[in-house]
Amino acid sequence: MKVLITHQFNTKMKELTEIVQQEVVALYSFVNSNTKEDILNSSLLTKITSEDSNIFTIRGRSIRIFCTFDNTEGQDQLLFLDVTSIDDLPYQPDVKRNGETTLYDRNGEAIAYIAHNDDDTIYTYNGKPCAYIDNSNNIYGFNGQHLGWFEDNIIWEHSGQRIGFIKSTTPVLTRFEPFKGFKEFKPFKGFKQFAPFKPLKSMSNSQNSLLSFLLDGSR
């Protein structure tokens, strides 16, 4: 997809911090390497409803890019109109659940579960507490290691790929859950690593093991 930049966008870009500019560049690269159909189907794109307009926003972690599609030269183009930082907006965490939520890998195997009434601790089915989810949807191991994020009912790796799912988001049919072993005592939480900058979310599944991913938090 060919991307064009307006003067207004260029001016606003210069007013952003260097870190936020890097996010804009990452979103630009994403758009530039995908087709119009891929972009329209992306969860990052949202249409702004109005009577005579086809304006969209591309949603990043800390910015919103306003854009529109154009085909005046017989070729699909995306015009970046404006960009706005949203760093000052308050954080809105996912809705808290009660009970337990099963976590599945890409093959539909039940690997672990989240005990929501136990500080959102993630246990394996043999009862081992290996990780937990904090109030910002970060997944941390008890060793303090930042493992990834739990957002949109999906576990995301640092690469931006999907590695874990709940029943409603798994890409395949899920299998029966194994019996749950007795829960082991939770270790003390280690000092948390600084959460890295969130990558662009990919629709591809990680080839890594969900169990190994979670156990990295208890080694």
Tens digit of pLDDT for each residue in 67-101?
988 877 678 889 999 998 865 444 444 445 678 99
Percent of the chain with pLDDT over 90: 39
Tell me the residue ranges of DSSP E strands in the chain: 2-5, 45-47, 55-59, 63-70, 77-85, 100-104, 110-115, 121-124, 129-133, 138-141, 146-151, 154-156, 162-165
Q: What are the residues whose beta carbons fall under 8 Å from the beta carbon of 143, sequence distance 6 or more?
A: 190, 217, 218, 219
**What is the structure's pLDDT at 92?**
42
Question: Among 20, 54, 85, which residue terminates a domain?
Answer: 85
Weakest mean pLDDT among 101-110, 170-179, 195-204: 195-204
The side-by-side arrangement of strands in the sheet containing 77-85 is: 2-5, 77-85, 63-70, 55-59, 45-47
Task: Say yes or no: 127 and 208 in one domain.
Answer: yes
Number of domains in the chain: 2
Give the whole-angstrom CA distance, residue 163 versus residue 212.
11
Same domain flag for 77 and 108 = no
Task: Report the C-alpha gap between 190 and 182 in whole angstroms.
Answer: 23
The strand pairing partners of 149, in sequence order, are 138, 156
94 found inside a domain: no
Q: What is the CATH number of the domain that holds 74?
A: 3.30.2310.20
In a domain, residue 92? The reply is: no
Considering the domain architecture, whether residues 62 and 156 belong to the same structural domain is answered as no
**Domain with 49 in it:** 2-85
Residues 22 and 55 grouped into a single domain: yes
Specify whether the CB–CB gap between 139 and 150 falls below 8 A: yes
Indicate if 19 and 55 belong to the same structural domain.
yes
pLDDT at 202: 81
Kindly indicate the confidence band of residue 173, based on its pLDDT and cuts at 50, 70 and 90.
Answer: confident
pLDDT, tens digit, 9 for 90 and up, residues 7-66: 989 998 888 888 788 888 888 888 888 888 888 877 677 776 555 568 888 877 678 899
Q: How far apart are CA 116 and CA 106, in angstroms?
A: 22
Query: Could you give the C-alpha distances from 118 to 95, 123, 131, in angstroms and in order?
Result: 16, 10, 12
Among residues 54, 85, 116, the one where a domain terminates is: 85
Of the candidates 85, 114, 148, which is a domain's last residue? 85
pLDDT at 198: 82
Assess whether 104 and 140 both reside in one domain. Answer: yes
35 found inside a domain: yes
